[in-house]
Every structure is written in structure tokens, then in C-alpha cells.
Amino acid sequence: MAVGRRVLVFIVLAVANAAAFATAWRITGRTLLEHATMLPGSPRADAAAERVRPALERELATQGLRFGAPAFVRIFKAEHELELWLARDDGSFALFRTWPICTWSGALGPKTRQGDGQSPEGFYRVAARQLNPTSKYHLAFNLGYPNAYDRAHARTGDFLMVHGSCMSIGCYAMGDPAIEEIYTLVAAALAGGQPSFEVHAFPFRFTGADDARFADPEWGDFWRELSAGYFAFERAHVPPVVRVVGGSYAIDPGAATPAP
């Protein structure tokens, strides 16, 4: 009888804990995978996905791509472009769409300190916790600045985003219609099992090892480091492994892994 009572108490406590857990996390309407990856949600993000997902899925189908496939993002300041690539079944990535960047702030060159008004350049990684479905700029995701390279160079700043609206103080502003599509696709990739996605933010599209802009006295050497990641992806269409060694970016071909 005592054993039976203990079992009953255990069941009651388990049910109560589960109910409290579900209430705290608002599991209703979410998939277990979304909950497991702590993917944040909001009525705003849900409404945006409902608006844009049908057309996105039709366009994906014409390109042989899948909604929820792993994502990869590239940003080009000078060209005012954001690319979103999605994984094929063979593991390589295909360019799905390029959106115009509504605005970014500062000049060509990386962000170096809090308040400099610069939009970052470098290799960044975005996990589910970095999504902001209630941003004051509609929808947003945090790039994760400063990364290991930035910290190695004592760079400061925070809350550098890709977001909606068309105003920027160090962020990449895409406008609300574009961010709804971009956010919906990267959120689907994270909900589909991708632990995080890479964002490579470049000053411009590189032309080759002899790019004249590498002669820039302030940022030429830095841009040359970035170009190694650009060309590694151009060759294989697979995001390279990016490490920081001795305060410099080290680029290894192959699928990207979390930065140390």
C-alpha cells in the first residue's frame, strides 16, 4: 500500500510540474522541437509567417528547395544586399533569394566600439535565443557581436541586429516586408533542427586575391582575412569552418561548426 501511495504522489507531482512547465513556456500551438530549441514566438511572428509562408513555399518548390532546410546568410554592405542560401539534400547550399538592404549605418569597415554607429563586418552565428519576435523594429535577430575575433581585438558594442524598419544605428535594416520573409525562413531552419545559422557580413563582393581594396591602409588586411571565407564558400557552396587563432580568422573548408 505504501508503494502504491508513493507512485500516486509521483504521478500527481509529475502532472503538476508538466502543467506548470507548459504554462510557463506557452507550449500550446508550438511543436515539441520548437520548444526543445527554445525558439521564441509571438503573435507578430506567427502572423508574419502566416502571411508569407505560402508564397515562400511555392517559390522554394520551383527551386527544388525545402521550407525548414538549414539556412546561411551573406551580407554585402557596398551592394546593399542580403543573400539567403538554403541547404539541398546533398548538403551543398543554393541561393534562394537576394533582398535589398534598406539601410545600414557608418562606412565600409568593421564595428570597433560602442557608439561608433558602424554596422559589423565578420563571421557571426545566430542561435534560436538570438531571435527577437517582439523587436521595436518589427522582427529581428541578433548577429552575436562581439564574436571571438571582435573580443580578441577589444571591440565593444551589443544588440547589433538584422531587423525590419528602415533606420539603423549599427544594424542592418531590411524593411518590414523583407524581414518577415527572412525571419520566417531562418526561424523555420532553427525549428527544423539546425542548431544555429551562419551570417557572413562583408564590406563588398571580393574580386580576387589581388583586389585593389586590400591596399586600404586601415582595413585592407582585415578585408583580406574576410575574403578567405568568401572564396571558400564560393568554391564549395558549403559554409566553411571559421576559427579565431592568434587574433586572426582561420578558414577551413567544410561544414561550419560552432565557434569556440
For residues 100 and 168, the answer to whether their CB atoms sit within 8 Å is: no
Catalytic annotation present for 163: yes
C-alpha cell at 166: 528602415
For residues 162 and 199, the answer to whether their CB atoms sit within 8 Å is: yes
Q: How far apart are CA 122 and CA 199, in angstroms?
A: 8
Q: How far apart are CA 253 and CA 251, in angstroms?
A: 7
Catalytic annotation present for 171: yes
Among the listed residues 163, 166, 200, 237, the single catalytic one is: 163
Among the listed residues 80, 102, 153, 171, the single catalytic one is: 171
C-alpha cell at 155: 571591440
Nearby residues of 188 by Cβ (< 8 Å), 6 or more positions away: 67, 68
For residues 39 and 128, the answer to whether their CB atoms sit within 8 Å is: yes
Give the residue numbers marked as catalytic.
163, 171
